[in-house]
Amino acid sequence: REELLFSYKGILYPATICSPEAFRAMESFEARPDDVILAGYPKTGTNWVGQILTDLIATFEKRNQDEENHVNKEELEEFPYLEIGDAEKYERMSKLPSRRVIFTHLIPENLPRSIFKSKAKILLLLRNLKDVATSFYHFSNALSALPSYESWDDFFIAFMTGKMPWGSYFNYLSEWNKHVDDKNIMTITYEELKENQALGVKNIAAFLGLSLTEEEIQDIVERSSFQSMKKNSPKTHGALGTALFRKGGVCDWKSFFNEDQNQAMDKAFEELLAGTKLGTKLKYEIYCK
Ligand code: A3P
């Protein structure tokens, strides 16, 4: 399993889709003030919120741009994850038109400095640890690019120790917690978006300074529903779609965690995160009635 991974600045990454050369090249990445960075640990709902962000920006731009200057972004598109790809990716990204939406699973320490210097907006996406673990386990076993696990118990150990792609989610949250009061950061949770998607979309639009009509918001909500995204996934995500759009709900962890695992995670949460600002946003129990 380890041979699929390499370590960079103390965190493991899958060697199948990331490389130390690309990571070094990434340091020269130039963020723009109007970039939108979607930061979230894997399986927090990146594709979902990524769809909302791109749709919000596209809807706004379409309405405000004259046809002549219209850029067909689809043709220019680069795989949206900052740290996934080859070393030449950053050169190509420098040619993309604004506004760019860039996804990343990195901790702030490992992001190119220009992201913080440029005042680019960062949307930090959170999801409760237990559902993230459950989702990550299924995704790992469905995807050949990621290490697979013989059993849920096996995966649980990797998740708790952080010896897995993109490292420990506990560490991820502690590191991002240091930036929680930054002016250019907004946090949103998978759970609040699930509870009221229209409100979430409106809050994101307001954060980006985009004014959209009620109807435009509703269209975006519809296009980003789990059902629509799953249905469109052969077109948008190819073979990845089946693995990616798995259940799209909250509290599926209840079918996987045994009592010991549940207690172990609660204890680690208590010790590492409960007292932090991000920790208080992850009180998942209220969603599992
Ligand atoms: P599950 O495995 O629990 O179903 P990421 O995009 O960061 O890899 O996250 C994937 C998780 O987000 C999966 O969770 C997936 O089903 C869920 N997801 C994707 N699109 C969604 C949507 N439109 N609504 C709700 N959940 C969605």
Cα–Cα distance for residue pair 26/14, rounded to 1 Å: 16
Nearest CA to ligand 1 atom 3: 135
Per-residue model confidence as pLDDT tens digits over 107-125: 999 999 999 999 999 999 9
pLDDT at 64: 86
Nearest ligand 1 atom, CA 139: 2
Nearest CA to ligand 1 atom 25: 248
pLDDT at 2: 67
Nearest ligand 1 atom, CA 48: 20
pLDDT at 177: 98
Cα–Cα distance for residue pair 30/210, rounded to 1 Å: 24
Per-residue pLDDT tens listing for the chain (289 residues): 667 999 999 999 999 999 999 999 999 999 999 999 999 999 999 999 999 999 999 999 988 886 777 777 777 788 899 999 999 999 999 999 999 999 999 999 999 999 999 999 999 999 999 999 999 999 999 999 999 999 999 999 999 999 999 999 999 999 999 999 999 999 999 999 999 999 999 999 999 999 999 999 999 999 999 999 999 999 999 989 999 999 999 999 999 999 999 999 999 999 999 999 999 998 766 667 6
Contact between 253 and 190 (Cβ < 8 Å): no
CA of 15 to the centre of ligand 1 (A): 24
Nearest CA to ligand 1 atom 16: 248
* Two tokens, residue 241: 């779609």
Cα–Cα distance for residue pair 139/165, rounded to 1 Å: 12
CA of 105 to the centre of ligand 1 (A): 15
AA identity, residue 131: D
Cα–Cα distance for residue pair 91/149, rounded to 1 Å: 36
pLDDT at 78: 86
Contact between 100 and 162 (Cβ < 8 Å): no
Contact between 256 and 137 (Cβ < 8 Å): yes
pLDDT at 289: 65
Chain centroid, CA 9 distance in Å: 20
CA of 47 to the centre of ligand 1 (A): 7
Our mutation pick for probing the ligand 1 site, out of 191, 246, 284, 287, counting the most ligand atoms within 8 A of Cβ, is 246
CA of 244 to the centre of ligand 1 (A): 6
Cα–Cα distance for residue pair 104/58, rounded to 1 Å: 20
pLDDT at 74: 74
Nearest ligand 1 atom, CA 226: 23
CA of 274 to the centre of ligand 1 (A): 25
pLDDT at 286: 62
Per-residue model confidence as pLDDT tens digits over 200-228: 999 999 999 999 999 999 999 999 999 99
Assembly ipTM: 0.99
* Two tokens, residue 53: 């962000």
pLDDT at 285: 63
Nearest CA to ligand 1 atom 8: 43
Q: Please provide residue 243's backbone torsions phi and psi, each rounded to the nearest 5 degrees.
A: -70, -35
pLDDT at 283: 73
Q: Which residues form the catalytic set?
A: 105
